[in-house]
Amino acid sequence: MKNIKIFDTTLRDGEQSPGASLNIAEKIQIALALEKMGVDIIEAGFAIASQDDFKAINKIAGKIKKSTVCSLARAKKEDIEAAYQAIKPARKKRIHTFLATSDVHLKYKLKMTKTQALRQIEKMVKLAKDKVDDVEFSPEDGFRTEPKFLFKAVEVAILAGATTVNIPDTVGYATPREFGELIADICKNVPNIKNVVISAHCHNDLGMATANSLAAVKNGAGQIECTVNGLGERAGNAALEEVVMALKTRKDYFKSVTNIKTKEIATVSKLVSNLTSISVQPNKAIVGANAFAHEAGIHQHGVLSKKETYEIMEAEDIGLKSNELVLGKHSGKHGLAYRLKNLGITLDKKQMKEVFERFKELADRKKKIYDEDLLALISDQLKTEEQKYSLELLQVVCGNKTKPMAMVGLKDSKGKNEEISVIANGPIDAVYRAIDRITKNKAELLEFSIKAITSGKDAQAEVFTKIRKNKRIYSGYGASNDIILASAKSYLNALNNSL
């Protein structure tokens, strides 16, 4: 069995999904959850891109013990220096540097000749190697690069010290057979390839990211770059849960294993969905709500008689349990801390205090608190960090004999309070208009969806919103057992993200 390294780029490529924006506290929780799940390399960001990116990578590097922490860097001196400074506190560090090698990128983006590109690769990989032992090089748009030049670029990077060479299908153009053959050709035509790990980085524009990544493994790749829930620019990246479960379920065919503890997959998927405010489609492979629904559906008879009739995986494999009661009104701080630890959540003292208060409030209103409730509560709480406006007051009147009216009070980061009442067409309309007026905001609400987190009439609701402001898209998330309150928080979160 070959061990395939899982390189997670949820915090870098995944965060480039339209609307996804994570604050530092949220990125830290995701990194800790990825580490607990057994991810080999965490690409924590792109250090030079912004001060926030740098800070997040640096904080994550200080907290992660087992996984390698990686920063992306263009093949430029200042990028590599920033990447190195950001990952410095990590026990295991990697610099991932890239330079485009396809004709179209060289000519129009970089305005470089091939000879210049090779020289730049050599110089910058060497520079990264002076700083860390573990260096990854990516020829960006590798799949559309002229093969002979790709082999040369890879050879030069390895000679300069790269220990992993990553072949990206940056625009999601490849098909599985072609991508597999390209990896096989690299193995054949690059003389020093034996000494390094070949990696695949596939995008999902044509829905083939997972298939292409697996074809790469079949042809000699030892690392897959992927994201939780398949997040990423445009149609996203290869989904971590899909490549991992495919390798596990079809071990007979791929003859490969990963270090991923698959029982963590469901929790990490939900956490990432909440924190990025991007919900998972119900029919999504592995982590969609319907992926294991046949357990209660029309195939039940077959499944009950003999599991293998319709089941190739078990819900337990990814950590789905039948709604098991976890906590209630009388649970104390220790009980809560224990459950959170099981979920891979680590909070500091101040965060724990706030979360415990909110847990008590929730337990007063809701009898049974499930893991899903805790994940929603934590996500909602983390979103209040570093926000410009916080919700201080919400009061709503509505019904069939009255005009919907909302009274909203917001506090800004300078401590200034403002309250306003608005009459509108519906209660949420009234709340959102009130928020707009206080924040002097002009955003268009593109999407609004509300979901019960668990079953039961007293269930908490989670609300996902998407807004457009100054031609950019921002997402928001809010959870509460009051649906209007959850709606208000979600919209305010999206708005705060835009500020």
CB of 23 to Zn ion, least distance (A): 22
Spatial contact of 24 and 59, defined as CB atoms under 8 Å apart:
yes
Of 5-13, 303-311, 319-327, 390-398, the segment contacting Zn ion by CB under 5 A is 5-13
Of 7-15, 65-73, 188-196, 293-301, the segment contacting Zn ion by CB under 5 A is 7-15
CB of 15 to Zn ion, least distance (A): 11
Site size with Zn ion, rule: CB under 5 A: 1
**Closer residue to Zn ion (CB): 40 or 140:** 140
Tokens of 312: 């190739």
CB of 334 to Zn ion, least distance (A): 42
Q: How buried is 487 (Cβ within 10 angstroms: 0-12 exposed, 13-18 middle, 19+ buried)?
A: buried
**Closer residue to Zn ion (CB): 53 or 264:** 53
Residue 74 pairs in a beta bridge with 98
Secondary structure of 418-443 in HEC code, one letter for each residue? EEEEEECCCHHHHHHHHHHHHHCCCC
**Per-residue exposure over 84-116, b if at least 16 CB sit within 10 Å of its own CB, e if not:** bbbbebbebbbbbbbbbbbeebbeeebebeeee
d(CA 92, CA 70): 9
CB of 287 to Zn ion, least distance (A): 20
CB of 41 to Zn ion, least distance (A): 15
Residues numbered 242 to 271 that lie near Zn ion (CB under 5 A) are none
**Closer residue to Zn ion (CB): 13 or 242:** 13
Tokens of 217: 């493994």
**Closer residue to Zn ion (CB): 12 or 366:** 12
Spatial contact of 203 and 209, defined as CB atoms under 8 Å apart:
yes
Of 13-21, 121-129, 137-145, 482-490, the segment contacting Zn ion by CB under 5 A is 13-21
d(CA 417, CA 425): 26
**Closer residue to Zn ion (CB): 166 or 465:** 166
**Closer residue to Zn ion (CB): 138 or 490:** 138
Residue 13 lies near Zn ion (rule: CB under 5 A): yes
Of 6-14, 158-166, 364-372, 457-465, the segment contacting Zn ion by CB under 5 A is 6-14
**Closer residue to Zn ion (CB): 13 or 462:** 13
Of 8-16, 175-183, 288-296, 435-443, the segment contacting Zn ion by CB under 5 A is 8-16
Give the residue from 1, 2, 59, 50 showing the smallest Cα distance to 26. Answer: 59
Instruction: Find the Cα–Cα–Cα–Cα dihedral 341, 264, 296, 242, rounded to 10°.
Output: 160
**Closer residue to Zn ion (CB): 232 or 404:** 232
CB of 339 to Zn ion, least distance (A): 35
Strands (E), 264-404: 389-397
**Closer residue to Zn ion (CB): 110 or 398:** 110
CB of 66 to Zn ion, least distance (A): 25
Give the residue from 9, 41, 2 showing the smallest Cα distance to 247. Answer: 2
Q: What is the DSSP letter of 408?
A: E
277 three-state secondary structure: coil
**Closer residue to Zn ion (CB): 49 or 326:** 49
d(CA 454, CA 391): 25
Sign of CA dihedral 16, 47, 31, 197: positive
d(CA 376, CA 369): 11
CB of 151 to Zn ion, least distance (A): 22
Tokens of 138: 């990516």
Of 12-20, 101-109, 211-219, 294-302, the segment contacting Zn ion by CB under 5 A is 12-20
Residue closest to Zn ion when measured from CB atoms: 13
CB of 171 to Zn ion, least distance (A): 9
**Closer residue to Zn ion (CB): 152 or 203:** 203
Binding-residue pattern over the window 297 to 326 for Zn ion, x denoting contact by CB under 5 A:
------------------------------
CB of 169 to Zn ion, least distance (A): 9
Spatial contact of 73 and 79, defined as CB atoms under 8 Å apart:
yes
29 three-state secondary structure: helix
**Closer residue to Zn ion (CB): 105 or 489:** 105
- For residue 78, give the H/E element and its range: helix 77-87
Binding-residue pattern over the window 35 to 64 for Zn ion, x denoting contact by CB under 5 A:
------------------------------
CB of 201 to Zn ion, least distance (A): 6
Of 10-18, 26-34, 302-310, 358-366, the segment contacting Zn ion by CB under 5 A is 10-18
Residue 412 pairs in a beta bridge with 389
Give the residue from 411, 388, 394, 416 showing the smallest Cα distance to 474. Answer: 388
CB of 93 to Zn ion, least distance (A): 21
Tokens of 368: 């049974």
The site for Zn ion (CB under 5 A) is made up of 13
